A and B are shown apart, each in its own frame.
Chain A
């Protein structure tokens, strides 16, 4: 293993992993094509380069529809995140509110919220708003739960110190409670971002006029002839989910640099 002796860096390992996964895809596709008639194989797992070619060929349509899906999901995500943050702050300030709502908020994550998407679309007969509302709804609960958890994880000694110094309520929030809630907020956002994209696509599957979900369904109907297109929509939806996840991770890295996993030495036993 000549690679090992160079003591590779974290980043290069990520590249190696991704490359080997892509190679694995191409390899499995090749084996499938050896075994099966090409059309059947293409619907199972087309060649990676075929998918990429389809991505390039239909890039105009894909970008257009992807922008619709992503835009709606992003608007809903922002709204849901703001509302969730506000509710979490209110809940941390008023015990009775927290006691009233927390059982519902906690049990709400066991409810397949996405199952509501068709129902919401049935109620709001506007595809745009249905997507925004669903994305916001899906975002709301993880944000509330994780932010509240972050707010509660504030070290009691810190709060006691602030109180003994006569710090006002806003000062306590800005200097102590909010910073300790930020990691929670970010982990909530990281959970919610792909869910927001998913919920937006589910609404589209249920009969919205445009968006990635519509492309997905229509290319699925044409079967193996449109396999490239189908896989291109899937790759794009994965890409959208990944990009939103990465953006949030970068913001997390930037805004909460004190978290243990970002420290130069995270305490790895070597």
Chain B
């Protein structure tokens, strides 16, 4: 019984991406939960005892109930009364949904633009970070020091990078790609380097004893061992890249979700500003789930999924 519950919990955590956003997004959340439902989980589900199954069902429904309650209370303006807010400060979900519907075409175009920045920067940064980590893993001491210095990039506030990159690459799409690439690079390098080097000493000794070359040790021991860290890095990067793209667009941009967001806030058009956040969140969740799915496909042996 406990076996089945555990399996289902695992599945649920990865599959259900419930959103604290607007009600109109629940469609995409359902779609995201579909790839998670594996045959194995359903087979085990059949073995569950009746009571356990009921309990599991309740636990499964709880997040949805909580989300619906939250949205309902928001819609009924409970938060407005609690914090004495007006509707123009905190729009109700229905107003946000209406705003998404009215501006669907523009939001879609901007989401594509921001998504391009995110993905471009994400791929470039992750690749550079992975290369740095792989190179550094061949030089234990100096490489470790280099990664430590590089990890300083992690501590750099994104807002400081955005104006610099604007100076360097102009106000086009490349400046945001550069911002995202710089922030994702460090996280990937740190995460992958950790995976490449935190190896049980006895494995290393075994390969030493077999007179394996450093390249062989890298390919046969370190790289397979580091795959979970690689994906942990990718997952961290996916979530930071959307922040990087949005904050990068706050400064100088002529399109994109972040530009629209800051523009609408200046115009005090809060429903559309919230719509930007909701769309950006949806974009982030879809891309994140894509990475999770890739992880499941590529390294099925990794039992403990790292929720970055």
Contacts and interface: CB of A to CB of B under 8 A. Distances in A.
Nearest to B183: A194
Contacts of B199: 267-269
Contacts of B83: 123
Q: Interface on chain B toward A: helix, strand, loop, or mixed SS?
A: helix
Interface centre among A44, A107, A240, A265 (most CB of B within 10 A): A107
A118 B265 contact: yes
B18 A245 contact: no
A245 B276 contact: no
Contacts of A9: 141
Q: Interface on chain A toward B: helix, strand, loop, or mixed SS?
A: helix
A265 B89 CA distance: 56
A201 B214 CA distance: 45
Contacts of B273: 118-119
Interface in A191-212: 191, 193-194, 197-198, 201-202, 205-206
Contacts of A234: 160, 163-164
Contact of A109 (B65, B155, B194, B239): B239
B158 interface: yes
Interface residues of A, number: 69
A269 B204 contact: yes
A95 interface: yes
Interface stretch (A13-21, A53-61, A83-91): A13-21
Contacts of B277: 111-112, 115-116, 119
Interface of A: 8-11, 13-14, 16-18, 21, 43-44, 95-96, 99-104, 106-116, 118-119, 122-123, 145, 149, 153, 190-191, 193-194, 197-198, 201-202, 205-206, 213, 216, 220, 230, 233-234, 237-238, 240-242, 244-245, 260-261, 265-270
A194 B156 contact: yes
A123 B89 contact: yes
A116 B158 CA distance: 15
